[in-house]
Amino acid sequence: MQYIKGKDRNQCTLFPQSLDEIIDPDNDVRFIDLFAESISLPAFAFVTKQSLEK
């Protein structure tokens, strides 16, 4: 008789769902990400895709 076998609960996945899952909440990279997102690239004369659409 055939049946659907469930997944092994102890099995690790090869790739995580997202980077957010593997980076600790207090990791320095989160601060760097916030800093990088706060920089206004057009203020430094960089052309971005969003500035081209306006």
What string of pLDDT tens digits covers the 54 residues of the chain? 576 677 766 777 777 678 888 889 999 999 999 998 898 877 888 777 766 666
The pLDDT score that the predictor gives to residue 1 is 55
Q: How many domains does the chain have?
A: 1
Does residue 20 fall inside a structural domain? no
Give the integer Cα–Cα distance in Å for 22 and 53: 35
The answer to whether residue 16 is domain-embedded is: no
For residue 33, what are the domain limits?
28-53
CA count, 13 A, side-chain hemisphere, 18: 3
CB 8 within 8 A of CB 15: no
Q: Is residue 5 part of a domain?
A: no
Residue closest to 32 by CA, chosen among 45, 23, 43, 21: 23
Q: Report the half-sphere exposure of 1 (CA within 13 A, side-chain side).
A: 1
**For residue 24, what are its two tokens?**
């600790």
